[in-house]
């Protein structure tokens, strides 16, 4: 990022979103804050500390290193590693992290490591009910439970699944079938283990659309950042991040003149074009210039045009806006572009 570009995060908005999510789930249901991928491209430690202070019950990260960073920052609540890498399991077990059991092989590896470290790890059995990313298949449940029964160094506290389409109403039937498979799998696992196992299944859109399945915990990420994947529900949330940059040039072009590589944008009338000091290095994808992406220049919407170079994105502004522009540009503004940027440099997993 250039010296003139910064990502601002509103902790007030974060608190607002946290409280709103809390209001949607039963008081007895735990809220797990999903802070993987550098807290969706923001600041893992800063946001997690804030969420810890707000009362989040636990945290979810993708990798062990993220969990270790939270432990080093003084977070002592449970931290679930969703996709632990085999080669750093020792460090994760020693730090008392929880693990999602995402394959039969992984259960065996973790059991060996916990045994060798003489530690007990809390584990969350991840049942793949249709997303087909991570998790054991329902047909593998018996084998998983028999390994767990033979591995007292792994404490099966929870069972989880991840929904494939909780934001898509057209796929309501698919989501319901995922939840039904999960409920049946959980019942079977409790029988096999002879113990009570807590459950979590809902991500943010799950909380908004399938509140009846909140179970003992929910895992929310994007709604903490202010998005509900639905324009109506979005109104209850506040986007927490703004990407702020500066205008490095303002030029006038005539009708027929073009902007950017491959003449991607051709002006139909005389207009002013501002060059913004942002580009690939900031996680800005070149497709943003021709996908209706907008920026705010001094509080006014301006369309991005053209693809970006190493460090510039072009914004098309009317003269009135430019007169008022004070060389400061606010990108990723409230509600204008959802999580496009978190899908940039730090890809949302
Ligand atoms: C397993 C798991 N649970 C929960 C979440 C949070 O999802 P969302 O950001 O939609 O709340 C994620 C994020 O992708 C995830 O991978």
CA torsion angle 98 101 104 105 (round to 10): -50
State the distance from the centre of ligand 1 to the C-alpha of 307, rounded, in angstroms: 31
Q: 271 or 288: whose pLDDT is higher?
A: 271
The DSSP output letter for 63 is S
Q: Quote the pLDDT of residue 3.
A: 61
- The sign one gets for the Cα dihedral 140, 168, 338, 237 is negative
- Minimum CA distance residue for ligand 1 atom 14: 349
Mean pLDDT value of segment 286-298: 72
Tokens of 83: 């996709």
Q: Which of 18, 206, 221 to mutate to test the pocket of ligand 1 (most atoms within 8 A of CB)?
A: 221
The CATH label, of 3.40.50.300, 3.50.50.60, 1.10.275.10, 2.40.37.10, for the domain at 241-331 is 2.40.37.10
Residue 147 three-state SS: helix
The DSSP output letter for 136 is B
| pLDDT band with cut points at 50, 70 and 90 for residue 345 | very low
List where CATH 3.20.20.10 sits in the chain. Answer: 10-229
Q: Which of 39, 164, 182, 219 to mutate to test the pocket of ligand 1 (most atoms within 8 A of CB)?
A: 219
Name the residue among 226, 277, 271 with its Cα closest to residue 253. 271
Helix axes 141-149, 172-193, angle to 10 degrees: 30
- Minimum CA distance residue for ligand 1 atom 5: 203
Atom of ligand 1 nearest to the CA of 205: 10
State the distance from the centre of ligand 1 to the C-alpha of 34, rounded, in angstroms: 6
List where CATH 2.40.37.10 sits in the chain. Answer: 241-331
Name the residue among 230, 212, 213, 214 with its Cα closest to residue 222. 230
Cα–Cα distance, 208 to 228 (Å, whole number): 7
Q: Which residues are catalytic?
A: 36, 261
Mean pLDDT value of segment 3-11: 82
**pLDDT higher than 60, residue 25:** yes
| pLDDT band with cut points at 50, 70 and 90 for residue 349 | very low
For residues 210 and 129, is the Cβ–Cβ distance under 8 A? Answer: no
State the distance from the centre of ligand 1 to the C-alpha of 113, rounded, in angstroms: 27
Q: Which percentage of the chain shows pLDDT scores above 70?
A: 84
Within the chain, residue ranges assigned H as helices are 11-24, 36-41, 44-54, 64-72, 89-94, 104-117, 141-149, 172-193, 204-209, 231-234, 319-324
Of the listed ranges 98-102, 126-130, 315-319, the one predicted with least confidence = 315-319
Atom of ligand 1 nearest to the CA of 204: 11
User: 188-243: per-residue pLDDT in tens?
Assistant: 999 999 999 999 999 999 999 999 999 999 999 999 999 998 989 999 999 998 88
Name the residue among 124, 164, 158 with its Cα closest to residue 29. 158
Q: Which residue has the tokens 């003269």?
A: 319
Atom of ligand 1 nearest to the CA of 222: 9
Q: 93 or 277: whose pLDDT is higher?
A: 93
For residues 98 and 79, is the Cβ–Cβ distance under 8 A? Answer: yes
Whole-structure pTM value: 0.87
User: 313-340: per-residue pLDDT in tens?
Assistant: 666 655 444 444 444 566 554 333 333 3
Q: Which of 25, 34, 37 to mutate to test the pocket of ligand 1 (most atoms within 8 A of CB)?
A: 34
Ligand 1 neighbours, Cβ below 6 Å, are: 34, 82, 162, 203-205, 219-223, 349
Of the listed ranges 29-43, 211-225, 240-254, the one predicted with least confidence = 240-254
| Level-2 CATH architecture, domain 10-229 | Alpha-Beta Barrel (3.20)
Q: Quote the pLDDT of residue 5.
A: 77
How far CA 274 is from CA of 6, 137, 162, 251, 327, in Å, comes to 18, 53, 43, 6, 9
Maximal C-alpha separation, the chain: 76
Q: Quote the pLDDT of residue 347.
A: 25
The DSSP output letter for 97 is -
Atom of ligand 1 nearest to the CA of 100: 1
For residues 273 and 253, is the Cβ–Cβ distance under 8 A? Answer: yes
Across the chain, how many H-helices and E-strands are there?
Answer: 11, 17
Q: Which percentage of the chain shows pLDDT scores above 90?
A: 66
State the distance from the centre of ligand 1 to the C-alpha of 64, rounded, in angstroms: 17
Q: Quote the pLDDT of residue 277.
A: 75
Tallying the residues shown for the chain, one arrives at 349
- Minimum CA distance residue for ligand 1 atom 1: 162
Q: Quote the pLDDT of residue 6.
A: 81
């Amino acid at each position: 990022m250039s010296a003139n570009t910064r990502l601002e995060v509103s902790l007030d908005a974060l608190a607002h979103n946290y409280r709103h999510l809390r209001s949607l789930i039963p008081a007895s249901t735990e809220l797990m804050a999903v802070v993987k991928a550098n807290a969706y491209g923001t600041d893992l430690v800063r946001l997690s500390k804030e969420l810890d202070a707000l009362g989040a019950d636990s945290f979810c990260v993708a990798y062990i290193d993220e969990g270790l960073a939270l432990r080093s920052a003084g977070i002592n609540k449970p931290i679930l590693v969703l996709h632990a890498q085999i080669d750093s399991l020792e460090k994760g077990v020693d730090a008392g992290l929880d693990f999602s059991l995402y394959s039969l092989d992984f259960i065996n590896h973790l059991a060996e490591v916990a045994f060798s470290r003489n530690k007990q790890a809390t584990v969350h059995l991840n049942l793949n009910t249709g997303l087909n990313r991570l998790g054991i298949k329902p047909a593998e449940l018996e084998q998983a439970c028999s390994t767990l029964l033979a591995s007292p160094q792994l404490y099966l506290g929870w069972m989880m699944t991840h929904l494939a389409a909780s934001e898509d109403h057209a796929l309501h039937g698919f989501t319901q079938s995922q939840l039904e498979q999960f409920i049946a799998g959980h019942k079977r696992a409790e029988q096999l283990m002879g113990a009570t196992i807590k459950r979590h299944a809902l991500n943010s859109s799950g909380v908004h659309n399938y509140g009846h399945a909140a179970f003992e915990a929910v895992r929310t990420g994007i709604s903490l950042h202010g998005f509900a994947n639905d324009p109506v529900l979005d109104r209850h949330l506040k986007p927490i991040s703004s990407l702020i940059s500066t205008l490095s040039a303002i030029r006038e072009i005539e009708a027929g003149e073009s902007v950017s590589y491959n003449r991607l944008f051709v002006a139909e009338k005389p207009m002013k074009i501002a060059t913004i000091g942002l580009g690939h290095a900031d996680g800005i994808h070149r497709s943003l210039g021709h996908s209706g992406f907008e920026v705010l220049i001094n509080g006014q919407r301006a369309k991005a045009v053209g693809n970006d170079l190493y460090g510039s994105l072009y914004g098309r502004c009317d003269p009135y806006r430019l007169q008022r522009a004070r060389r400061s540009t606010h990108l990723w503004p409230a509600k204008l572009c959802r999580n496009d940027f978190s899908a940039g440099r730090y890809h949302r997993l």
